[in-house]
Amino acid sequence: MSFLSKLVTLFGLVLLTHAGYSAHEHTVLFNNTRLALPHDIIVETLVAVVIVSIGLVLGADKLKPISWRDWAGQIERDGGARNPYLGLEERYGFWDIRAQVEPVLAMALRLCSRVSGIVVEHALTISQAKRKEFGDWMRGQDLPAKQ
């Protein structure tokens, strides 16, 4: 509702209230319902009705075009933000999953190989040490026999 239509409606309602109050006072004063209302109250009421009607009509919501093509054309002209099918019209194509995943995968592999390299190296050192120990022990057993 625009400011103008609000103002017009408000003015009409004030007129209508005034007319109603005048009619009330008139009946209280003369205490006779058969006595016709003064003309100015009648005219005021009718004018108020016309003014409020104009205000309400001006303040009514904007109508939307009902034909599909007019409606769709209006949406396109507005930039398509209100398009209910926007989610379908602009969506991702099929992903090349390898192109998306390959860098990640390569990094993971590198990481894995580094970690496993360290582990293997460690295991090798341990096993070398163990082997040496075992060899020494064996040799230690053999030595007295040789002597």
Binding site for other proteins (CB under 8 A): 16, 19-20, 23-24, 27, 33, 37, 41-42, 45-46, 48-50, 52-54, 56-58, 60-71
Nearer to other proteins, 69 or 98 (CB): 69
- Report which DSSP code applies to 90: S
∠ Cα 26 27 32 (to 5°): 125
Shortest CB 6 distance to other proteins, Å = 13
Amino acid at 27: T
Shortest CB 84 distance to other proteins, Å = 9
CB 49 within 8 A of CB 16: yes
Please give the structure tokens belonging to residue 21: 């109050």
CA distance 46 to 50: 6
Shortest CB 66 distance to other proteins, Å = 5
Nearer to other proteins, 30 or 134 (CB): 30
CA distance 21 to 37: 12
Nearer to other proteins, 30 or 137 (CB): 30
Shortest CB 9 distance to other proteins, Å = 10
